[in-house]
């Protein structure tokens, strides 16, 4: 039958559970293998998200040999879902002898919002994020604010942190009712527009013309963003 998605309980300040997929094929890149944390949307589950043909993370795992951990709190170590996911990350790194410098997070819809939350609450655990059709962490949909106001929301999730933060790649459809955008170019594929922001392009926005909620995962582009 080959490798299977396996349920794992997590010991934390709250009840938490996730699923781990360890491919039969060993990691073929340099050093220890990376960890990709795939966070499912609301009204879904880890197995359903993993099996979705539009979310091809299993294909990448089987081809390149990296591990996928999936999870069905807005403050670091607050005992909420972000805390549980952080514990899953630490568990997987130790259990499967993975590279702690190669932890990547993806998710769609509310899973994309949680990916934003993870980047804010545990920036020291995560190297890069590639999220799809997710709202900003800590606020409701269609919220507007200045750069300083958005920065304050993020900084409040891990007060006193001054270290590096993850690279962010954010995908949205121009017809998504949760965003006001309507731009287009043809990269990474037809009717997509990519824009880079910040030093060395550490924040990347990708707009999908005519697509609603949510944008299909693009395994090739997300893997390139992660560097795996």
State the catalytic residues: 109
For 70, phi and psi rounded to 5 degrees?
Answer: -120, 145
β-sheet bridge partners, residue 17: 9
CA triple 18-228-48, angle to 5 deg: 30
DSSP E strands, 135-184: 167-173
Contacts of 147 (CB under 8 A, 6+ apart): none
- Length of the chain in terms of residues written: 228
* Tokens describing residue 15: 């009840």
Cα separation, 114 vs 127, in Å, equals 16
Count of CB atoms within 10 A of residue 144's CB?
Answer: 8
| DSSP symbols for 55-88 | STHHHHHHHH--EEEEE---STTSSSHHHHHHHH
């Amino acid at each position: 039958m080959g490798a299977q998605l396996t349920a794992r309980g997590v010991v934390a300040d709250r009840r938490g559970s996730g699923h781990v997929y360890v491919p039969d094929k060993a990691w073929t890149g340099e050093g220890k293998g990376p960890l990709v944390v795939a966070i499912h949307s609301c009204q879904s589950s880890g197995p359903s998200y993993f099996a979705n043909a539009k979310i091809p993370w299993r294909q990448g795992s089987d081809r390149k040999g990296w591990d996928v951990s999936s999870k069905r709190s807005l403050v670091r170590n607050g005992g909420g879902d972000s805390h549980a996911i952080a514990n899953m990350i630490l568990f997987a790194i130790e259990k499967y002898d993975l590279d702690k410098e190669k932890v990547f997070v993806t998710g769609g819809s509310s899973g994309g919002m949680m990916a934003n939350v993870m980047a804010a609450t545990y920036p020291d655990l995560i190297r890069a994020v590639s999220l799809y059709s997710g709202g900003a962490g800590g606020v409701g949909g269609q919220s507007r604010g200045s750069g300083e106001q958005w920065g304050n929301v993020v900084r409040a999730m891990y007060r006193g942190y001054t270290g590096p933060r993850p690279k962010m790649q954010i995908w949205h459809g121009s017809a998504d009712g949760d965003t006001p955008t309507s731009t287009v170019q043809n990269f990474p594929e037809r009717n997509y527009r990519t824009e880079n922001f910040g030093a060395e392009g550490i924040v990347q926005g990708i707009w999908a013309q005519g697509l609603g909620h949510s944008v299909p995962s693009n395994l090739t582009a997300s893997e390139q963003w992660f560097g795996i």
